[in-house]
């Protein structure tokens, strides 16, 4: 497990050309400060974020609008894991073909990078990378990369925009 952490750290340094990747200080998840408030919308999806328990975790929920109403399709939380010495997240999902997402998340300036393992209902994992590039206080570009024969290939992308007001999801 330790060698995987070292390889992940090395990969980040090589990809971003900087050793400034951080989750702030141990236990600090303030890099998530920009997310709470309103609904981050992409198409029919709305992502909502809220700090909890002394700002030591960030709760996240995704709501989909469908003709039959709004439905929560995933929820979970990020927090600093003292044994792993990094920010991790666990999210459960429905109607996505995935039961559990495990996140390992780092920040560099306006970019959030997460190594993601997605577990299906049979316990089979798939490896992904999510990159959120914040382009302003109320928008970010989301990119999803999938491990394909040892290299990451972009398979999805979109722009999330924050909406505030009374019609922002749940």
pLDDT mean over 147-167: 88
Distances (CA, A) of 12 to 20, 105, 106, 111: 10, 11, 9, 12
Pair 79, 58: CB distance under 8 Å:
yes
User: What pLDDT, in 10s, does the model give residues 49-108?
Assistant: 999 999 999 999 999 999 999 999 999 999 999 998 899 999 999 988 999 999 999 999
Determine the pLDDT at residue 26.
52
The secondary structure of residue 7, as a DSSP letter, is: H
Please give the pLDDT value at position 34. Answer: 96
Q: Is pTM beyond 0.85 here? A: no
User: Average pLDDT, stretch 4-22?
Assistant: 39
Question: What is the chain's percent helix, strand, coil content, to nearest 5?
Answer: 10, 55, 30
pLDDT recorded at residue 51:
97
* pLDDT tens readout for residues 99-154: 999 999 999 999 999 999 999 999 999 999 999 999 999 999 999 999 888 889 99
In order of their start, the domains of the chain are: 2-163 (2.40.128)
- Give mean pLDDT, residues 2-16: 40
């Amino acid at each position: 497990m330790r060698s995987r952490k070292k390889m992940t750290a090395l990969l980040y340094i090589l990809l971003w050309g900087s050793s400034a990747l951080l989750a702030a200080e141990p236990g600090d998840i303030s890099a998530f400060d920009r997310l709470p408030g309103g609904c981050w919308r992409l198409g029919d999806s709305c992502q909502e974020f809220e700090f909890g328990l002394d700002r030591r975790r960030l709760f996240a929920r995704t709501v989909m609008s469908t003709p039959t109403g709004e439905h929560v399709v995933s929820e979970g939380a990020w927090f600093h894991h003292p044994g792993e010495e990094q920010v991790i997240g666990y999210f459960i999902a429905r109607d996505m073909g995935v039961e559990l997402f495990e996140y390992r998340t780092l920040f560099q300036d306006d970019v959030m990078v997460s190594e993601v393992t997605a577990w299906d209902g049979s316990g089979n994992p798939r490896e992904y990378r999510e990159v959120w590039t914040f382009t302003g206080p109320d928008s970010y570009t989301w990119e999803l990369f999938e491990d394909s024969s040892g290299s990451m290939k972009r398979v999805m992308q979109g722009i999330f925009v924050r909406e505030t007001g009374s019609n922002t999801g749940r």
